[in-house]
Amino acid sequence: MKPHVPFELAVPVAAVDHVIGAPHAMATVVEYGDFECPNCKQAQPAVRMLLERFAGRVRFVFRHFPLEEVHPHALGAAEASESAAGQGKFWEMHDLLFANQEHLKAADLRRYAERLGLNMARYVAEMDDHVYLQRVREQLQSGLDSGVRATPTFFVNGRIQDVSFGLRALFDVVESVLQRGGNR
């Protein structure tokens, strides 16, 4: 087994990930994000545009990276999204959480679960028992192992992509990968 190189994706995309887009796309974009992070919220429209522009040629993966020391509700929001995922509604909860980023307390999360029509007995039990905490922590650790230090952090085909000067760089690298047939 080769040693891991920092700034490359330490944990490959797998069936347990939250994925939208073309299943066998030449370009895979992975975001490590935090539902309470303003920069992550600002990135969401660009991600949607990316998926539309490269429809059928790109897939998008969201992984949790809650920055608990600065975002006190991020971990609970991540757990709520996983509970929703258990009922087939991850992306719906993902969108609700970003749309209502200023309201992520437990009571708010419960209202969103109700709005999505989740089985509330199951949701409450999973949240009370922190059923998905380990999954969130594993994604956080995979981010740390990959060199993630802030949110959002994006990887394209396994390599970190600097977006500190704007998300245009993400579009450019995806377009380049597609032109080269999936190679970066």
- Statement: residue 4 has pLDDT above 70: no
Q: What is the pLDDT of residues 72-129, one digit of tens each?
A: 999 999 999 999 999 999 999 999 999 999 999 999 999 999 999 999 999 999 999 9
Q: What is the pLDDT of residues 28-55, one digit of tens each?
A: 999 999 999 999 999 999 999 999 999 9
The answer to whether residues 81 and 52 touch, using CB atoms and an 8 Å cutoff, is no
Q: Where are the domains of the chain?
A: 18-179
The tokens describing 40, both together, are 């992550």
Specify the pLDDT at position 6: 62
Specify the pLDDT at position 168: 92
The answer to whether residues 64 and 147 touch, using CB atoms and an 8 Å cutoff, is no
pLDDT grade, residue 7 (50/70/90)? confident
DSSP class per residue in 16-42: TSEEEE-TT-SEEEEEEE-TT-HHHHH
How far is Cα 109 from Cα 146, in angstroms, rounded to an integer? Answer: 29
Rounded to two decimals, the pTM is 0.94
CATH class of 18-179: alpha beta
Please return the burial class of 81, using the count of CB atoms within 10 Å of its CB with bins 0-12, 13-18 and 19+.
buried
Distances (CA, A) of 124 to 35, 57, 104, 119: 20, 38, 15, 9
